[in-house]
């Protein structure tokens, strides 16, 4: 093997070793985020499940209304005001852009 090809092969091997070390370090740095991302994935799966089973939401709301109607009314009012506030903020942001 000529000297140029040998130098190129050695450089290639050194670069592969460097890449492997960088991947290992990246894996160590990302490990703490893995549990947080797993929780987020679980929450998204729960939301997807609720979207696929709207009857569960209806049953839960009906149960709360039957068991604690005053609390349900109070939370409904809060939800309405939060929703209206969000609508106002969104409209202002859309109008300014």
Return the exposure string of 34-51: e unless at least 16 CB atoms fall within 10 Å of the residue's CB, then b: eeeeeeeeeeeeeeeeee
Please state, in angstroms and rounded to a whole number, the distance separating the CA atoms of residues 54 and 49: 9
Encode pLDDT of 17-32 as tens digits.
999 999 999 989 988 8
Average pLDDT over residues 59-81: 94
Question: Which band of pLDDT confidence, cut at 50, 70 and 90, is reported for residue 1?
Answer: low
Which residue is listed with tokens 């609390």? 71
Q: What are the residue boundaries of the structural domains of the chain, listed by start?
A: 1-52, 54-97
In the chain, what percentage of residues exceed pLDDT 70?
Answer: 99
Average pLDDT over residues 78-94: 94
DSSP state of 68: -
Check residue 81 and give its pLDDT: 96
The fraction of the chain above a pLDDT of 90, given in percent, is: 76
- Tokens coding 83: 């929703």
Average pLDDT over residues 33-51: 91
User: Residue 16: pLDDT band by 50, 70, 90 thresholds?
Assistant: very high
């Amino acid at each position: 093997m000529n000297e140029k090809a040998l130098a190129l092969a050695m450089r290639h091997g050194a670069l592969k070793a460097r890449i492997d070390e960088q991947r290992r370090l990246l894996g160590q740095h990302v490990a703490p985020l893995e549990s947080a991302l797993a929780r987020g994935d679980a929450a998204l799966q729960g939301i997807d499940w609720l979207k696929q089973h709207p009857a569960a939401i209806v049953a839960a709301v009906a149960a709360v209304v039957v068991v604690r109607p005053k609390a349900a009314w109070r939370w409904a009012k809060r939800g309405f005001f939060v929703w209206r506030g969000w609508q106002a903020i969104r409209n202002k942001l859309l109008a300014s852009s």
